Amino acid sequence: MKKIFFTLLVTAFFFISVGTTQAGEVFRQYLNDNLPIVITQISQGKFDPVFTEIKIMLNNGKLKREEKLYILDKCFEQAKNLGYYSEGGELYELAYSVEGIDKKLAQDIHTKLSQFYENARFWRKAINTHFYYLQNIKVDDKEKKQVLFEIVQNYINLLQFKKAERVLGEILKLASEDRDFAYVFYYQAVCNFSQNNYKEALRFYDKALSFDMLENIEKGRAYYNMGLCYEINNEIRNAISYYKKASEFYDNEVVISKRLERLKQKAPTAYNEIMNEKNKS
């Protein structure tokens, strides 16, 4: 019932907007005749006829680029709002095939799609979107690094650490600023830590922190994970020291407090000495 009501509202909006825009006759006719049918089919989850109709629309030479993108956007929003995330994303991917797409529009499509997939936790689709963008749109090194870092994060979310490390190797070839190196080493540390390679994780976290370019949230997680590495290796003094440093930046003070309290019971003397020292972050 909610889906039908929402469809009626959206359809009503189309009829109202048609009369107030300067749209071409073909576009107005499409909004009046075709789009309400497509919207209804989306609300019913009937995507085979939807994709067929959208592909016909994309080949309609009488519709302008902006008009095709408008129609795709409305279909995407309808699918997304009704919880058809995968189908909605696939619909909006067709925006790349609209004739006359320039770099700015391609950037906008890429940003909207990748953010949508990442928010929906469709990491693999987000990765595919990023790679498609890099393979088909000419970008400068700065933008390429940014997109590659997003791919790394998605691979980490998928627990595909070896693939993340390979992409980090590509970023390292492009790195030119301290921030680039800091985050390459940070994510290398994350990959090693997640694979229980604690010695390597410590080495990379230390290298990342040496640039003093990490945001506080990553800095806090780096110190915290270093504390975990030392605790796992039974290096209690170092563990306490790094948990203490993490407490300045980490976003979960309760977790750190519990860790420190446990180590206090194990090594009260070391705990008191370190906690009474001035912070050296």
Q: pLDDT band at 263, cuts 50/70/90?
A: very high
Question: In the prediction, which pLDDT does 7 show?
Answer: 44
Higher pLDDT, 219 or 9: 219
- Tell me whether residue 73 is in a domain: yes
Average pLDDT over residues 188-215: 97
Q: What is the DSSP string of 46-91?
A: -HHHHHHHHHHHHT-TTS-HHHHHHHHHHHHHHHHHTT-HHHHHHH
pTM, full prediction: 0.85
- Tell me whether residue 154 is in a domain: no
pLDDT single digits (tens) 135-158: 999 999 999 999 999 999 999 999
- Tell me whether residue 239 is in a domain: no
Please state the domain count of the chain.
Answer: 1
- Tell me whether residue 271 is in a domain: no
Q: Is the sign of the CA dihedral 119, 53, 7, 33 positive or negative?
A: positive
- Tell me whether residue 196 is in a domain: no
56, two tokens: 């016909």
Instruction: Give residue 11's domain range.
Output: 1-101
- Tell me whether residue 273 is in a domain: no
- Tell me whether residue 137 is in a domain: no
- For the chain, how many residues are written? 281
Q: State yes or no: pLDDT of 74 exceeds 90.
A: yes
Q: State yes or no: pLDDT of 6 exceeds 80.
A: no
